[in-house]
Structure 1
Amino acid sequence: MTTPLAQLLRLVPPPADAPLATDWADVERRLGHPLPADYKELADTYGHGRIDRHISLMVPEDTRAGQGLITRNDGYTEELEDRWDMHEEWPEEVTREAGTTLVVWADTKDAGDLTWLVRPGTSPEDWPVMVFIDDLTEWETYPLTATAFLAALLSGEIDSTILSSELTPPEHTFQPYPR
């Protein structure tokens, strides 16, 4: 178990019922690239659900139409690129280098998406987390894994100007979505 996951487990109790098993090799084949080990461990521990009724953690498949990791990422980067071209403002971290893409792994009820910035030749364990506001005019980048980001955010180590103050209760909860 990773240290960030151990910290997250202390902050947010996992669901009583274990999530369904995931065939990660099949998921990575369908997505077109590998996924960070910490995310797979996070998804295998918590499954699909919502932290503090605010952050929805995505898993590869789910019961809500269009909300799974694979479905949400189909054409995701191209959609963002079109919107940035329209606003004529791109995040400097997101280059137009072939193979650079964004992979959404969670979303929020008020801010937007939590993504990984994937660059060619970069290990999935080194993909930074980018948080976007819905209209894509603001973003924050964190050189952390998904699990380390969530643990730091929920422990108060990260003070995001984008994410809601609703994530600072003394006790955090995880509510799984129905299967």
Structure 2
Amino acid sequence: MRSMADGVFDLLDIPAREIPFAWDAAESVIGARLPLDYKELIDRTGAVIVDGWLCLFGPAGESNESNIALVIDERERAWVKFRQSGIELPIRYFVEGSRLLAFAAVEANYFFWRARDGVAPEEWGVVIADADLEGWYDFDLSATECIYQVLVGDIDLDPFEDLFGGTEHRAEPFLG
């Protein structure tokens, strides 16, 4: 998988942050190291909302909506509640040694890394789950490759309803 952090950053109309984040605390809470390409992107942008829709989570901030460690924890608790209430989820994502780690969202449609024991974070693919949990989309792409392809319109899934495409995008800080 390759990094498209530079490509995504070039699409956004946002100044680069000057000081990278300290990711150790967030990764400690998550219990996993996160892929470098995504950290490189967020170190430059911070947590942002792109085009008023695509929310990219970051390691800092007290907001549940933008703090990646808090979002991942919330999603993992939600999976437990869904299963307890009888909602059927694709078993392949919920086997021992496998986790879905949220890094972005368009409304309630989440982008996840498919983290697996023994697989380096830079080799994790992306899973997008639509809001009603009926559509699960697997991509053998890094997070930044997936974000880039969504923004330029190469990945156009039903949940996004033509929200993205083109080479000009605006980004605003995601304050939550």
- Taking structure 2 as the reference length, the TM-score comes to 0.85
- Taking every aligned residue pair, what percent have the same amino acid on both sides? 25
Q: State the number of aligned residues.
A: 175
* Equivalent residues in 2 for 1:8-157, closer than 5 Å: 8-13=8-13, 15-16=14-15, 18=17, 21-84=20-83, 86-97=85-96, 99-109=97-107, 111-157=108-154
Q: Using a 3 Å threshold, how does the CA distance of structure 1 residues 76 and 65 change in structure 2: closer, same or farther?
A: closer
Alignment partners' CA distance in 1, 2:150 and 2:55: 14
Alignment partners' CA distance in 1, 2:3 and 2:66: 28
Alignment partners' CA distance in 2, 1:19 and 1:176: 15
Secondary structure, counterpart of 2:28 in structure 1 = helix
1:158 pairs with 147, 155, 169, which one? 155
Task: Assess if the C-alpha contact under 8 Å between 2:110 and 2:128 holds in 1.
Answer: yes
Runs (5+) with no aligned partner, structure 2: none
Alignment partners' CA distance in 2, 1:84 and 1:178: 31
| Per-residue Cα deviation, 1:90-144 (whole angstroms, up to 9, x for no partner) | 22531422x31111111112x4211111111111111111111122222211111
Task: Assess if the C-alpha contact under 8 Å between 2:109 and 2:130 holds in 1.
Answer: yes
- Taking structure 1 as the reference length, the TM-score comes to 0.84
| Per-residue Cα deviation, 1:156-179 (whole angstroms, up to 9, x for no partner) | 222222223111255211111359
AA of the residue aligned to 1:64:
S
Structure 1 consecutive aligned stretches of length 4 or more whose deviation exceeds 6 Å: none
Q: Using a 3 Å threshold, how does the CA distance of structure 1 residues 19 and 112 change in structure 2: closer, same or farther?
A: farther
| RMSD of aligned residue pairs (Cα, Å) | 2.4
| Per-residue Cα deviation, 1:57-101 (whole angstroms, up to 9, x for no partner) | 10012253453111112252242243146455322531422x311
**2:174 corresponds to 1:177:** yes
